Amino acid sequence: MSCSRSVVLLNNALKITVMKNGDLSLIQLGLDKEKREITESVIAIYQNELNLLSDVVNLLVKRAVFHKQISSVDELTKLTTELASYCADEFKKLNDKRSW
């Protein structure tokens, strides 16, 4: 896997990196309880930012539901809109660093 050139951290749970070839890498952050270190696991590599956006919003919404941060359809709608908007803004910043 090529080294990343740019990084976006989302909700302290996910990280997106732009790889040298321009692909986008979605990484899940976790905590190794024994070593007390942050761990990184690559979830997927994307060439299409729309697919990446869909997966990121889905993962963050599922996380919010699991942690009982949202409990109604209205809260779900609001969170989904906020996440999609935030991610789109961050992707615009990353696009400046991508080399297609």
Domain ranges of the chain: 4-95
pLDDT tens by residue, 41-88: 999 999 988 999 999 999 999 999 999 999 999 999 999 999 999 888
Q: Taking all residues of the chain, what is their mean pLDDT, rounded to a whole number?
A: 85
- Which of the two residues, 99 and 28, has the higher pLDDT score? 28
- CATH of region 4-95: 3.10.450
The neighbouring-strand residues paired with 42 are: 27
pLDDT surpassing 60 at residue 99: no
Task: Give the pLDDT of residue 100.
Answer: 46
Spatial contact of 14 and 38, defined as CB atoms under 8 Å apart:
no
